[in-house]
Amino acid sequence: MLLFTPGPTPTPEVIRVAMSVPTIHHRTPEFEEIFKIVREKLIKIMDMPEVLMLAASGTGAMEAAVTNLCKSHALTINAGKFGERFGKICKAFDIPYTELKYTWDTPASIKDILHEVKTNPKIDALCIQICESAGGLRHDVEGIAKAVKEINKDIMIIADGITAVGVEKIDTANIDALITGSQKAFMLPPGLAMMGLSQNAVSKIEKAPKGFYFNLASELKNQRKNTTAYTAATTLIIGLKAMFDLIEKEGFEKFYEDTKIRAKAANAALEAIGLKIYPKSPSFAMNTVYHESAKEIRSIAKKKYGVNIAGGQDELKDKLFRINNMGLIAPYETAWALNAVELALDELGIRKYDGTANSTFVLKVFKGV
Ligand SMILES: *Cc1c(COP(=O)(O)O)cnc(C)c1O
């Protein structure tokens, strides 16, 4: 079965092999050396002055960022399930928040955000997805963050980059917390969350430490010494080092470029067979299609052609399908998935099969789009 869901993504064999070594103790020079290497690589790839690794799924880092960086009032952007989650976190911790809601295909508007920031001086954090995975939607976080900082540089920009880090180079100049998780573009099993921090965020955390397991001040103190406050996710961190070794063979620039080409070529292929790309500003992390028969298309792709494509969520559960594009994916695998979709359309009597999806994709990939 080809796993084509936007998280978890398949783990390449070299990474699986690297993680198959006997467990080592986390308070040892051997592990601290690995931790140090990975920490430095994360700082570089996130392009931020500080980074933390937490034994948690991505949501753990979302919670930690909110509880440690928002002290008075959060502005949350809800254009899907993951944006909605920021609001739920605020609620769980009794943090006052304002939620800006958008339909799942529509990116957040800078104007709306600036209006909230200007009218409510209590807002001290903006929580937003870079890619909202519910609809494969890319928000212009960089532009939004810049505009917000021009009004008040102390507003913390908390960016959920769980399906953005490792997909494309992110301009972190105005981002205070950049969150990611192991099971998306980094191709690891789930269980490790990572967070890049700005200098401003570090000062804020150190000035008023908060929480226990997710007390980022104690993590900062420990991780700067290449250890963790509690038991580190040793196996995943060893896997993360293997991921860096693998990608660095050809470099992250090539990794991002290949991802972008595949994303564009696959969207063109889907459109060429008459399908509608759902988000108004598609992210490169996945290819998201709106179709009344999305559920049936997925079911045929899985049962007949061995491709596991994700559906939608909530009311769009049976109306969207999402083909993962994160990680190292051989173009022939995506070609297979797109071909399966085209064959499913034929089987459902929607469109006669003629190989258009496959040929469009392959030609575009070879031409570099
Ligand atoms: C997957 C995902 C998450 C949630 O991560 P978990 O690891 O399931 O906690 C959060 N935000 C986005 C945008 C995601 O795609």
The response to whether residue 267 sits with its C-beta less than 6 Å from ligand 1 reads no
The response to whether residue 59 sits with its C-beta less than 6 Å from ligand 1 reads yes
pLDDT digits (tens, 9 = 90+) for 168-194: 999 999 999 999 999 999 999 999 999
Q: For residue 310, what pLDDT is reported?
A: 98
Q: For residue 1, what pLDDT is reported?
A: 94
Which amino acid is it at 172?
T
Q: For residue 296, what pLDDT is reported?
A: 98
Q: What is the 3-state secondary structure (H, E, C) of the chain?
A: CEEECCCCCCCCHHHHHHCCCCCCCCCCHHHHHHHHHHHHHHHHHHCCCEEEEEECCHHHHHHHHHHHHCCCEEEEEECCHHHHHHHHHHHHCCCCEEEEECCCCCCCCHHHHHHHHHHCCCEEEEEEECEECCCCEECCHHHHHHHHHHHCCCCEEEEECCCCECCECCCCCCCCEEEEECCCCCCCCCCEEEEEECHHHHHHHHHCCCCCCCCHHHHHHHHCCCCCCCCCCHHHHHHHHHHHHHHHCCCHHHHHHHHHHHHHHHHHHHHHCCCEECCCCECCCEEEEECCCHHHHHHHHHHHHCEEEECCCHHHCCCEEEEECCCCCCHHHHHHHHHHHHHHHHHCCCCCCCCHHHHHHHHHHHHCC
Question: What's the CA-to-centroid distance between 158 and ligand 1, angstroms?
Answer: 14
Q: For residue 201, what pLDDT is reported?
A: 98
pLDDT digits (tens, 9 = 90+) for 286-305: 999 999 999 999 999 999 99
Q: Are 104 and 137 in contact (CB under 8 A)?
A: yes
Neighbours of 130 (CB within 10 A): 26
Q: Locate the ligand 1 atom nearest the alpha carbon of residue 131 and give its number.
A: 13
Mean pLDDT of 68-77: 98
Domains of the chain: 12-247 (3.40.640.10), 252-367 (3.90.1150.10)
Which amino acid is it at 82?
F
Question: What's the CA-to-centroid distance between 130 and ligand 1, angstroms?
Answer: 12
Question: What's the CA-to-centroid distance between 57 and ligand 1, angstroms?
Answer: 8
Q: For residue 300, what pLDDT is reported?
A: 98
Q: For residue 144, what pLDDT is reported?
A: 98
> Average pLDDT over the chain, rounded to whole?
98
Question: What's the CA-to-centroid distance between 162 and ligand 1, angstroms?
Answer: 6
30 alpha-carbon distance from chain centroid: 30
The response to whether residue 191 sits with its C-beta less than 6 Å from ligand 1 reads no
pLDDT digits (tens, 9 = 90+) for 256-290: 999 999 999 999 999 999 999 999 999 999 999 99
191 alpha-carbon distance from chain centroid: 14
Q: For residue 76, what pLDDT is reported?
A: 99
What distance in Å separates the CA atoms of residue 349 and residue 223, rounded to the nearest whole number?
Answer: 57
Say what angle helices 234-248 and 252-272 make with each other, to 10 degrees.
80
The response to whether residue 200 sits with its C-beta less than 6 Å from ligand 1 reads no
Q: For residue 237, what pLDDT is reported?
A: 98
pLDDT digits (tens, 9 = 90+) for 26-38: 999 999 999 999 9
Q: For residue 185, what pLDDT is reported?
A: 98
The response to whether residue 180 sits with its C-beta less than 6 Å from ligand 1 reads no
**What residues contact residue 35 under an 8 Å CB cut-off, 6+ apart?**
53, 223, 226, 227, 228, 232, 237
